[in-house]
Structures are given as structure tokens and as C-alpha cells.
Chains A and B, each alone.
Chain A
Amino acid sequence: MKKTGAQILCESLIKEGVEVIFGILGGSVLPIYDTFPQYPELRHILVRHEQGAGHAADGYARATHKAGVCIATSGPGATNLVTGIACAYMDSVPMVAITGQVARPVIGKDAFQEIDITGITIPITKHNYLVTDVTELARTVKEAFHIAQTGRPGPVLIDIPRDIQQEQTDFVYPDKVDLPGYRVISRGHPAQIKKAAKLIDEADKPVIIAGRGIVISQAYDEFREFAEKAQIPVAHTLLGLSCFPGDHILGLGMMGMHGTGCANMAVQNADLLIAIGMRFDDRATANTKEFAPNARVIHIDIDPAEIGKNIPVDVPVVGDIKSVLTALNEEVEKREHVDWLSQIEQWRCEYPSQDIRQTGELLPQYVIRQICEATQGDALMVTGVGQNQMFVARYFTFTKPDSLISAGGLGPMGFELPAAMGAKIGRPEEVVWCVAGDGGFQMTIQELATITQENIAVKIAVMNNGYLGMVRQWQELFYERRYVDTKLWNPDFVRIAEAYEIPGVRVKRREEVIPAIQKAMEHPGAFLIDFLVEPEENIYPIVPPGECLARFFEPSRTETWKKKSGVSITEF
């Protein structure tokens, strides 16, 4: 029986297990949308900006470990998806983005709402397709999902000309993919694993750096077994947080530019680094030339191109994390590192990471800790970008696996609200908190309408300091407090939420925090809390640009910093 391209697309998506699609329609996708009612198994969620569709598909994918699907029309719809696609690319999130395209006869003629989205997204997709014949469509969808979800996950874009959506052909869904240029190595090489085990057994000051690869592979048990068996302390990248219990005795918290003093000291002083599912991003390593000078490096990752890209590696192990750790656990010996762990404990005491200074002011750290207490860590935290993101990373104790969704690589403001929306749809039974900065919140604030229309019960905490916080902090520390264009006039967020029929409260004082959070948790639907936090609060420690991890700055280290010349940190 002959089916249209639009029907073939829908049926192929269903074959791939798709249940939700985030999108906005337009002329070039009308035939697809007109076909949706024939397939009630596909739930389409109409958002208010395609950036919201992209980030929602991303949040959904991170929450469910399935490819998130977003759809947009040609031209401006497609270009509005770019940020969402780039974000998924940078953080290795499985996504299939579908865009309509003008009809084939007018491609390349600057038609109405025509844009070369495949050209634009080449650098930010794992692969992309412009479908040129309706008979290729089913195979293209199958390949797209295979590429997006296997190996190192990532976004794949499929551009479908309007006339192909309406053309008919027989629908045959292929059983397998034929991609001679795409091979995934999942099993680590046994000889490499043995080499790694030997180095691990011999090390005196080993440190594990845990990244998002552990979350992607869902290797929480194997990882915990490894860390505990070999007794090795665990530092996390931002995206590695929650792969290991935050209150574990071996846990050091986040390392990097805003990492804990203890984690940074441990990494810098290690004689062996075991990097698992992380890519030595510059926020994590700080100055690469001075990074961990005495350490040999074992790098376990599924992407061979990451090995040796930023940091030279002594023992590479390419493979799926779960599979490699299972084999590694057989090879490593049970060990104790009493001296090293006691040094780590000293650093922990010297650089307490979750202390909150006693003050009458309303501090963002306090808000985050209260959310942590109220949820008992049983929540999915979705952050924006900037100070709000760092406060969550440092002051929330992640005890539940896979409980942080944060855009680390691209770092787009406005990620928080739509991503929280997508995450909640993916995990409807969980409590989902969206922690937003007042700047980022307003970049995708229009998605409050989607939340109301679709009844998505996210709890929104706006960390309202009236500034673009992270940039203001940089201006304070590195630009002699010249606050250029960082102060924000903000509207009344509670009244805005009310206009979107979402209840909300404003919190101005410390005593109001716990009751507000309680109210939000007790309310069955979406709820917004506008926290008027201390405007010029900074996130510490910070490793200034050009410095190595051990040279982190916080007010208690001002004296050490005054002695070093050439670094201008505004003194206070």
C-alpha cells in the first residue's frame, strides 16, 4: 500500500520508539503536521520558540537516554533550532532534529523561507541528511536514530523537502543499517585494560575524574565498585556530577574552574589520573600546560578522537564505559591508600566546599541547600548557565544517579526552562526543579505558555540578583569592577507567572525560603519562586584564566594572591 512521505516519517518514528516530539509548525512542514492526527501514539508538544523545542528535546533525551525529537519548519524555524542542536552536539546528547525544506524544484533559488540548514549544521551535528527522494526517507530515519543513539551520542538533522512529504511510495522499514564509515567500538581492548590495571595497582596518589560518559553508559554500579575496590577518590566534571553519590567518603565534588579546593588539589597532585567518560574540557583542566604535572594518565572513552586531543595520554582505553569498567573491575586489585586519603581529608578540612557564611542576606547557596534538604536529593535538577549553574553544582549534594541536567559544553542561557519541561515529560513521576538565572530565564520565558497548555509540573526557582551574574563576577574580579551592561531591569516574575496561570511567590528574606519551597512542592502543578538573592554574591573558588587548578582563588586566599605579581584580582 502506498504511503506519503509524511506518513512514512510518522511510521518510521513510531518504529524507532518515539513517543514525544517538540516543535512548531510552518509552511514547509504542514503536510507532516496534517498527518499527525492519524498517529495518536505520537504526542506532539507545541512550544513557543524553536529554541525551546531544541532544548526540550535535549532535556527529554538526557532524562530518558532515548533520542529527543524536535521539528521545525524551513528557514527561520530551522535557524532557531541551531542553538538547541549545537548544545546537544557539545554535550553528546542523542537528538533527531527534523526540518521541513522548500520543494525540490526551488532549492537553491533563495525561495521563501529557504535556508541551507544542512550546510549550516554540518559542524554541529554527528551527521545530517537532505532527503532527495521519498524512497530514501525510511532508511534515512533508521540511520539517523542509529547514529544519534549509538557510540558517542549526538544530534542528527534530517531536512525533508515539502514535495517529498506529499509524494507517495511503498513503505518498507529496513531491518538494518549499512554505514561502512561508522563503526562503534564498545569492548575495550583487553591488553589496554590490563595495562591500565597495572598502573592503577602501582599508583600511590590516584584520582579518578568522572565525566558524563558514566551517565550516558549508565555504569553507576560498575563505577562505584571500581572506586571502592581500588579505594580511589573521585573528582567530577560538571556533567559527571551525580554519577557517584555526592556524600560518599571518596567523593571530592566538582573539579575545574569553579571546582572545590579539595578536588583541584587532588587532581593537581596526583601521580595517576583515571579519566572516565570526560574530554579534558578547558573549564575542567584550567591551564593545560601546568595540568597535573606529576600524573600519568589513563583515558577511558568511547570516542577515540578525544584521546590525546587536549592532554597527552599514557594508557588509552577506547570502549563503552560500562563494558570497560566491568572488565577493569576483574583486573584491578583491592587496595587501600591510607596516606593519600588522609592528605585528601586535610584538604577537605582546609577548603570546606559547602560552608555558607552566616549573614542576614539571602544567599543563593542557602536557597540551593534548602531545595536539596526539602527534596532529600530525590529530584532532577535542571540548571541554567552561569552563577546559578555553579551554585547548583557546588551546593546541591547529588545522591541519586543521573539527577543533574546542565548545559556544560555550549552553555546557552535559556536552556533551563525548556530543558526542565522536556525532562519532566521524560520522567513524569520525578520532582523536577528548574534553577534559572534572571537573565537566562527571560531568554526562553515564552515556554511558560507550553508548560501551562501541556500541564507540565516543573518547579521553577529564579535566582534573581538583577544581574548577568557570572559576567558581573568577572567584571568585578578581572575588570576592576567596571560593570558594563550587566545590570538587568527585570519585570515582576510572579505577576508574569500569574499571567501564564502559574502560581508563584516572591522570597526576599531567609526565613521565607523554606515555606516557599514547601508551598512549591505541595502544589501539584507548575510553581514559580522568585528568589531575590544577594546581588553581588560571587561563586568561589575560581581558577582565574591562565592559572593551573591548584591556584584557585577565594577570599580566604587573598594573602597568597597578593604576593603573586601579574595577576590582577580586584582586592577587597
Chain B
Amino acid sequence: MEGKLTDTRHTLVALVEDKPGVLNRVASLFRRRSFNIESLAVGGSEHPDLSRMTIVAIGDSAQVEQVRKQLEKLINVVKVADITEGDTVTRELALIKVKATASTRSEIMQIVSIFRANIVDVAPGSVTVEVTGDEDKVNSLLGLLRDFGVKEVSRTGRIALTRGSGS
């Protein structure tokens, strides 16, 4: 799907039943309706039988509203909210394996410490960095580390909760 000027990234949060095949049903829906999905993260929630799914969808507001409504139609999906506009906390975790030599390692460690990230693995030719934060933070760190040569990256995708005591 071609991007338009009106396309924005929207964060949808869905509560889904923790049953076999639910992820398959959601992915199948996105594929057949050609929804533009950037990331999907799913894990447990405060309910024992429900999982929380955080989806970043790209499109104009009408398209994303369609994504939301079609998702809610799925029997295993309990509720879907578009929390893009509201006050939210968004986070993502990334593991980044960077090329590191004896001479570059300290510079890398300085950058890592500025970002309050951690080094979780050291090897003769590389270090693995773990960083948590919103996307801008993760993207900035990744950008800086690319200068050293990034060997592998694994990102979880965005998770989000609304601020305040409501849900």
C-alpha cells in the first residue's frame, strides 16, 4: 500500500483470549485485508485468561479505524482501543550486537552508558547491548551504533499503556 501524507502511525491495544491460534487469526486478518502493520507485541495481561496485544498500524484515521473494528469482530478479541491520541507510556526492548575491538569498546561503552543501556554480552569481536525505552531512544542508540558496524538486531516492538489509573 502506498503511503500518503495523511498516513500516521497509530497504536492499538487489544485484549485477546489466551487460546491456541489467536495470533494466527489476527495475523490472517491483517494479511487478507491488506492492513499495514509495523509491529505486533503480545504477552500476558492482568487477566489470567487474556493476553494484551500492542499493534502499531500505519494509515490514515479511517483505515486504522477499520483495522480496529475488524479486529473487534474476531470472536477471540475482547476489546480494541486506539490509544494514539491519549497520554500513553510506550516502551520497546532491543538487543543489539555491535562489532567491537579493543580500541572501539570504550567508546561504545560510553555511548551505552549515556543511554542508560546495558552491555549483556562481551566477545572478542563484539558486544551485545540491551536497551529499553521509547522508539526514539532505541532508534537514536541504534543510529549511533551503526557507525561501529551492527551485526544483529532483535526488537520486541512497541508495548503501551495509558497514563493514569483508568484502563
Contacts and interface: CB of A to CB of B under 8 A. Distances in A.
B70 A305 contact: yes
A34 B77 CA distance: 37
B70 A181 contact: no
Contacts, number: 37
B17 A181 contact: yes
Nearest to B47: A180
Interface stretch (A121-129, A217-225, A433-441): A121-129
A180 B75 CA distance: 8
B75 A308 contact: no
Interface in A105-134: 118-119, 122-123, 126-127
Interface in B17-39: 17, 21, 24-25, 28, 32
B137 interface: no
Contacts of B70: 305
B66 interface: yes
Contact of B75 (A118, A126, A304, A305): A126
B146 interface: no
Interface string B71-86: 0111111100000000
Nearest to B68: A305
B69 interface: yes
A312 interface: yes
A572 interface: no
A121 to B, nearest CB: 11
Nearest to A303: B73
Contacts of A119: 24
A182 interface: yes
Contacts of B72: 304-305
A182 B69 contact: no
Interface residues of B, number: 19
A88 interface: no
Contacts of A1: none
Interface string A505-519: 000000000000000
B65 A308 contact: yes
A305 B66 contact: yes
Contacts of B77: 181
Nearest to A123: B32
B17 A122 contact: no
Nearest to A127: B75
A205 B66 CA distance: 30
A305 B28 contact: no
A309 interface: yes
B21, B62, B73, B77 pick with most chain A CB within 10 angstroms:
B73
Interface in A175-212: 179-182
B76 A181 contact: yes
A25 interface: no
A147 interface: yes
B66 A309 contact: yes
B6 to A, nearest CB: 14
Interface in A132-148: 147
Interface residues of A, number: 18
Interface in B33-79: 62, 65-66, 69-70, 72-78
Interface in B115-146: none
Contact of A122 (B16, B28, B69, B73): B28
A122 to B, nearest CB: 5
B165 to A, nearest CB: 23
B141 to A, nearest CB: 38
A228 B32 CA distance: 41
B135 to A, nearest CB: 29
A210 B51 CA distance: 40
Contacts of B75: 126-127, 147, 179, 181-182
- The winner among B17, B32, B75, B77 for most chain A CB atoms within 10 A is B75
A118 B21 CA distance: 10
Given A123-B28, A123-B32, A308 B74 contact: no
A312 B61 CA distance: 12
B28 A308 contact: no
Nearest to A179: B75
Interface hub of A126, A180, A182, A312 (most chain B Cβ within 10 A): A180
Given A126-B75, A181-B77, A305-B73, A312 B28 contact: no
Contacts of A181: 16-17, 74-78
A122 B66 contact: no
Nearest to A125: B75
26 contacts: A118-B21, A119-B24, A122-B24, A122-B25, A122-B28, A126-B75, A127-B76, A147-B75, A180-B78, A181-B16, A181-B17, A181-B74, A181-B75, A181-B76, A181-B78, A304-B69, A305-B66, A305-B69, A305-B70, A305-B72, A305-B73, A307-B69, A308-B65, A308-B66, A309-B66, A312-B62
Interface of A: 118-119, 122-123, 126-127, 147, 179-182, 303-305, 307-309, 312
Interface of B: 16-17, 21, 24-25, 28, 32, 62, 65-66, 69-70, 72-78
Given A127-B74, A127-B76, A305-B66, 20 more contacts: A122-B24, A122-B28, A123-B28, A123-B32, A126-B75, A127-B75, A147-B75, A179-B75, A180-B78, A181-B16, A181-B75, A181-B76, A181-B77, A181-B78, A304-B72, A305-B72, A305-B73, A308-B62, A309-B66, A312-B62
